Amino acid sequence: MIILEGHDKLPVRAAIFDFDGTISTLRCGWEKVMAPLMCEYILGGHTERSDEIKALVDSYIDESTGIQTALQMKWLNDTIKQYGLNPGAPDDQWFYKDEYNRRLMLDVARKRDEVESGAVPKGNYIICGAENFFEALRDRGVTLYAASGTDDADVKRESAALGFFDYFTEIAGAKPRAEDCSKDAVIKRLISEGGYKGGELLVVGDGKVEIMLGRAAGAVTLGLATDEVKRCGINPVKEKRLRAAGAHAVTGDFTHLDNIMNWLF
């Protein structure tokens, strides 16, 4: 665990978790589905500019990790029009979102179904120590929430498959045909309606979006620089991203539970 900055130790009363890449690895490798899709539709067969477009897409995916998929597909739609290489492409962000989701779910649904059937242990897709961290927070009276840019129905089903569902008071995913940020909405609602002060909130995630939203709200932020293949240890690319976003601390997993709890409380 890397402590980057101190925080006021108000009693943490609520914790908001990102889902994919933070506690679940069911969607590990989503970038390898999104990047080819974006390149395919931007280029429209013009391979002479493939290196340029691939670099553009990779950069965008890196900076946009954690936002609603709908917004990433809006960027794709706008970029297709900007480059003008594929004039026959649909002018519809929702077409691209549906196609991306269709391609991604070929693998995700298989893994989820294997877990649900018991053919594969759920632990194969859980970041190490996550459930122990949930238990430790609940023992402290902390209320847990999950917020994700993944479609609402999917994140709830995947949470249930991994045995997470009952830990969370609320699981908020992306609503159909909506661009609203579920993470921003949950944070703002807890402060405005729940009566929480910023420092009473803990925001946990592997993307810069939730970390920056947490910092803006005055919350305590724990960046998860997860290695989604090994499910433990620190991914240096994510660590750099989370440091730049302003995370108060960074860890690769939840196995150093005593250190994390001592830092928090």
Q: Are 48 and 112 in the same domain?
A: yes
Of 97, 117, 137, the last residue of a domain is: 117
Q: Are 142 and 230 in the same domain?
A: yes
Q: Are 141 and 237 in the same domain?
A: yes
Number of separate domains in the chain: 2
Of 60, 90, 117, the last residue of a domain is: 117
Determine the pLDDT at residue 262: 94
Query: SS3 letters for the chain?
Result: CEECCCCCCCCCCEEEECCECCCECCCCCCHHHHHHHHHHHHHCCCHHHHHHHHHHHHHHHHHHCCCCHHHHHHHHHHHHHHHCCCCCCCCCHHHHHHHHHHHHHHHHHHHHHHHHHCCCCHHHHECCCHHHHHHHHHHCCCEEEEEEEEEHHHHHHHHHHCCCHHHCCEEEEECCCCCCCHHHHHHHHHHHCCCCCHHHEEEEECCHHHHHHHHHCCCEEEEECECCCCCCCECHHHHHHHHHHCCCEEECCCCCHHHHHHHHC
pLDDT in tens, 3-46: 888 887 888 999 999 999 999 999 999 999 999 999 999 999 99
Of 67, 96, 117, the last residue of a domain is: 117
pTM of the model: 0.92
Q: Are 177 and 103 in the same domain?
A: no
List the CATH number of the domain containing 194: 3.40.50.1000
Q: Are 152 and 260 in the same domain?
A: yes
Question: Residue 78: which domain range?
Answer: 31-117
